[in-house]
Amino acid sequence: MKISEDKFVAVTYDLTVETEQESERELMERATKEHPLSFIFGMGMMLEAFEKNIEGLRVGDNFSFNLNPEEAYGEFIRENVVELPKKIFEVDGKFDDEQVVEGMTLPMMDTHGNRLMGSVLEIKPDVVVMDFNHPLAGETLYFDGTVIDVHEVTPQEIAALTRNEGSACSHCHSDDESGCADCH
């Protein structure tokens, strides 16, 4: 069976990005046989360009492709790095230094009520420097993997993948900032 619209798909892969030395790459994420990336093809769970590159493949087929920033998470936008008053991170009048730590990604809300994920870059005396770019913005993504399952989707799989969307393995491939397997 080929990967096509509304099929359940599971793949293993290594996702790498270029390092400062352009001839080297850094492993950003790995989906393994024990923890594959599983999704329903064509339901918008994955980046469109990712799906285009695996469409038509069968179980056992290998894939190797790259997505430029425009096909993935866009360019890094300097304006998405902002300084926020430390007081908005207070709990019971005290700065939350257990949750607000450099390197942490925190759920935030903008003035319009939209949910955003922001990474803490720096904690200064009066402000917290947050980055609201996707962690892979500006990066060319290199995927090398294997298709390990393709079958007709079951109602149970639809329910499981949509109910658990916030913890499924789609973080680095979906615009909704969901979780993923072995993402660094």
Stretch 38-47: mean pLDDT:
94
Question: 31 has which bridge partners?
Answer: 13
The reported pLDDT for the residue numbered 136 is 94
**Position 100: which residue type?**
V
Please indicate, yes or no, whether residues 106 and 22 belong to a single structural domain of this protein: no
Q: Residue 179: inside a domain, yes or no?
A: no
pLDDT tens string 97-120: 999 999 999 999 888 999 999 999
Please indicate, yes or no, whether residues 121 and 141 belong to a single structural domain of this protein: no
Q: Residue 48: inside a domain, yes or no?
A: yes
Query: What span, in angstroms and rounded, lies between the C-alpha atoms of 76 and 150?
Result: 34
pLDDT tens string 30-39: 999 999 999 9
The reported pLDDT for the residue numbered 176 is 38
pLDDT band at 21 (very low <50, low <70, confident <90, very high): confident
Query: Domain count of the chain?
Result: 2
Q: Residue 93: inside a domain, yes or no?
A: yes
Examine the pLDDT at 10 and tell me if it is beyond 80.
Answer: yes
Please indicate, yes or no, whether residues 66 and 151 belong to a single structural domain of this protein: yes
Evaluate whether 152 touches 7 at the Cβ level (below 8 Å). yes
Taking alpha carbons only, the member of 143, 131, 147, 130 closest to residue 173 is: 143
- In degrees and rounded to multiples of 5, residue 170 shows phi and psi of -120, 5
The reported pLDDT for the residue numbered 96 is 92
The reported pLDDT for the residue numbered 164 is 55
Please indicate, yes or no, whether residues 56 and 142 belong to a single structural domain of this protein: yes
The CATH code of the domain that includes 114 is: 2.40.10.330
What percent of the chain shows pLDDT beyond 90? 77
Please indicate, yes or no, whether residues 143 and 118 belong to a single structural domain of this protein: no
Q: Give the angle 37-52-73 at the CA atoms, nearest 5°.
A: 70
**Residues comprising the chain, all counted:** 184
Residue 42: give the domain boundaries: 7-73+137-173
Query: What span, in angstroms and rounded, lies between the C-alpha atoms of 177 and 160?
Result: 18
Q: Residue 184: inside a domain, yes or no?
A: no
Please indicate, yes or no, whether residues 156 and 108 belong to a single structural domain of this protein: no
The reported pLDDT for the residue numbered 181 is 35
**Position 178: which residue type?**
S
pTM: 0.76
**Position 37: which residue type?**
L
Q: Residue 58: inside a domain, yes or no?
A: yes
The reported pLDDT for the residue numbered 166 is 42
The CATH code of the domain that includes 11 is: 3.10.50.40
The reported pLDDT for the residue numbered 117 is 93
Taking alpha carbons only, the member of 115, 148, 117 closest to residue 39 is: 148
Stretch 43-70: mean pLDDT:
97
Stretch 35-46: mean pLDDT:
94
Query: What span, in angstroms and rounded, lies between the C-alpha atoms of 180 and 184?
Result: 9
Query: What span, in angstroms and rounded, lies between the C-alpha atoms of 136 and 122?
Result: 19
